[in-house]
Structures are given as C-alpha cells and as structure tokens.
C-alpha cells in the first residue's frame, strides 16, 4: 500500500540534511554571530536559527502549499502556536542553540509532522555527529538507516536518566527542578546526563543509551519529532505526572518502558507552565 506521507517525509529528511550543512558551516563562526535573547537572558537565538527555519518553511510551502506550520522562530516572531487537525510541520531549526553558540557538539534540526494531532513522522538530524534519526508511524525508528531499540532495563536503579535544567531561572522554579533532581539521583540511579537538546535526549532514549528523559519547560517543536522516534523504538511517553502526554503542555517524560517511566514520574515535582497554545 502506498504511504501518502512518504514524499513529505523524504522531503523532511532532505531538508534536515541541507539545514545541517548550513549549521555545520556556521558553527565555527557561531561565537562571532550576533546572539540574541528571547524569553530570558539564557534563551538564545542566532541568525542561523532564523535562516534555517526560513529555508525549511519556504521549501515546504513550495512543495506542499496547503500544509500548516509551527516553527520556533516564527512563533517567536508572533505567529500563533496552535496544533490543529491539518497536516502540520513542527519545526525546531536548531535544537540546542546554546550548544551551537558554545560549539558543544549536540545540535539538532528537528522536524515533526502531524495530522489530526498525531505525529506521522519525525526527523531529528544531529548535524555535528552526522546522525539522521527518523521514524514513520507504525514503521519503526532508525538512525542512519539502522533500526533503533530502547534499553531492556526494567530496574530504574540500573538506569541513566537524561534531563535538563531548563531556561527558567526563577528561584521557585529552580528549587522545584533541583528537588526533583535530588529525588531522582537519590533513587539511586546509575547517572544523570543531559545533551542540551531535547530532541537528542529523546533520540538517546530511542537508541538505548539512556533509559529515560524528562523535562518541564520544553516546547512542542523540541519534542514532536523525538516523541515518535521514542515510541517507534519501543519506548513509552507520558506527562511528568504519569498522565497522558500532551504535546502542547510543555512537559515530557520519555522512557524505555512503563515501569521505569512510572517510577520516575513519582519522583518529579510536576509543576505547571504556560502552555504552548495558551491564548496570548
């Protein structure tokens, strides 16, 4: 049976590769680039983020003129951020802009594609590592064409957990982030890591390198593609409170299996943040 979204997915992979070249060409010069700030002094954006998002959206518009977009830098420029049932490209042109600015080598282009609010395919290109992660709903997840499978570990005490400190440094939020982290470290788990990119953290879960990843404060463009890559690699997704994942809620927990996920959810202070689709 023909896959109606195959040509869109092929286009996404080609665009991610092209965008990755733009990012690789710029990374050495990133420190010379004007680094601008968005929601806070540590929420960074560069001209390369904006250039890559334009490149992707322009090309998709030419090929699929009826499709919709949620793009990180377009939303920052005032576009609405609402996930509808229409075919929608959900784009993070550089996930890991802080890494990009500092030449820390985990920088991804993340492209998710949803229809009826369900992610149909996800593409995450870790461009400095030249690792192309892809997933098509119902057809598995791959890295550079090699099938991905989550870790078999069932005991969270034998696990590595990925998380991030986030870009909200309000003292009350920092307290909550650290109290969760203290509980997780004290389970005790084998270790805690963070790549500085939600998309890459999710690909690490899908690859079996880490058992789980959680974060509060991410956006839909950080996790749309990665969420399908995790589930197609056999993993589970949920809200940090153990409920159903809501792509717009800015909270995510991805794990290799239900038992690790549920144990982790019990340790997290699941505070709420303003939703991506909150009316502005």
Q: Residue numbers of the site for ligand F1X (CB under 6 A)?
A: 72, 92, 94-97, 164, 166-167, 196-198, 215, 218, 222
Nearer CB in complex with ligand F1X: 51/149: 51
Residues 33-62 within binding reach of Mg ion (CB under 5 A): none
**Cβ 88 to ligand F1X shortest distance, Å:** 18
Contact indicator for 93, 16 with CB cutoff of 8 Å = no
- Where in the sequence numbering do the catalytic residues fall? 72, 92, 94-95, 97, 222
153 binds, among ligand F1X, Mg ion, none (CB under 5 to 8 A by kind): none
**Choice between 199 and 236, CB closer to ligand F1X:** 199
Tell which one of 222, 239, 267, 276 touches Mg ion (CB under 5 A): 222
Residue nearest to Mg ion (CB): 95
Of the candidates 82, 89, 202, the residue with the CA atom closest to the CA atom of residue 150:
202
Residue 232: partners with Cβ closer than 8 Å, 6 or more residues away: 135, 136, 137, 138, 139, 140, 141, 148, 206
239 belongs to the binding site for Mg ion (CB under 5 A):
no
State how far the Cα of 116 lies from the Cα of 135, in Å rounded to an integer: 18
Is 95 among the annotated ligand-binding positions?
A: yes
> Least distance in Å: CB of 3 to ligand F1X?
29
Phi and psi angles of residue 236, each rounded to the nearest 5 degrees, phi first: -120, 155
246 is in an annotated binding site: no
Is residue 95 at the binding interface for Mg ion, with CB under 5 A as the rule?
yes
Location of structure tokens 């690789």: 24
Half-sphere exposure (CA, 13 Å, Cβ side) for 147?
Answer: 6
- 72 is a site residue for Mg ion (CB under 5 A): yes
- Cβ of residue 37: shortest distance to Mg ion, in angstroms? 13
Rounded to a whole number of angstroms, the minimum distance from the CB of residue 53 to Mg ion is 8
- Residue 92 marked ligand-binding: yes
Q: Which is nearer to ligand F1X, 200 or 265 (CB)?
A: 200
What is the separation of C-alpha 198 from the centre of its chain, rounded to a whole number of angstroms?
Answer: 4
Distance (Å, rounded) from C-alpha 133 to C-alpha 144?
A: 6
Q: How many residues bind Mg ion (CB under 5 A)?
A: 5
Residue 167 near which of ligand F1X, Mg ion, none (CB within 5-8 Å, type-dependent): ligand F1X
Chain CA centroid to CA 66, Å: 25
Each residue 121-150 as x (binds Mg ion by CB under 5 A) or -, in order, gives ------------------------------
Which residues are documented as binding site for Mg(2+)? Answer: 72, 92, 94-95, 222
Which residues are documented as binding site? Answer: 72, 92, 94-95, 222
Q: Which residues are near Mg ion by CB under 5 A?
A: 72, 92, 94-95, 222
């Amino acid at each position: 049976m023909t896959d109606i979204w195959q040509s869109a997915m092929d286009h996404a992979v080609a665009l991610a590769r092209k965008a990755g070249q733009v990012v690789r060409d710029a990374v050495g010069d990133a420190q010379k680039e004007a680094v601008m700030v968005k929601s806070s002094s540590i929420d960074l954006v560069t001209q390369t983020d904006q250039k890559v998002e334009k490149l992707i959206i322009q090309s998709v518009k030419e090929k699929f003129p009826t499709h919709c977009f949620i793009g990180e830098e377009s939303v920052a420029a005032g576009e609405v951020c609402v996930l509808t049932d229409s075919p929608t490209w959900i784009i993070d042109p550089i996930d890991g802009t802080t890494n990009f600015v500092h030449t820390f080598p985990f920088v991804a282009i993340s492209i998710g594609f949803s229809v009826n609010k369900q992610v149909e395919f996800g593409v995450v290109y870790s461009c400095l590592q030249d690792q192309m992660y892809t997933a098509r709903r119902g057809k598995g997840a791959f890295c550079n064409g090699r099938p991905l499978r989550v870790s078999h570990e069932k005991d969270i005490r034998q696990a590595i957990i990925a998380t991030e400190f986030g870009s909200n440094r309000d003292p009350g939020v920092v307290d909550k982030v650290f109290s969760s982290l203290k509980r997780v470290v004290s389970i005790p788990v084998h270790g805690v890591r963070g790549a500085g990119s939600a998309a890459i953290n999710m690909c690490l879960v899908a690859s079996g390198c880490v058992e789980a990843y959680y974060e509060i404060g991410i956006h839909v463009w950080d996790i749309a593609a990665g969420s399908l890559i995790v589930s197609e690699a056999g993993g589970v997704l949920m809200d940090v409170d153990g409920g159903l994942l809501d792509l717009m809620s800015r909270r995510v927990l991805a794990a290799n299996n239900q038992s690790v996920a549920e144990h982790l959810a019990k340790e997290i202070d699941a505070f709420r943040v303003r939703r991506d689709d909150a009316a502005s």
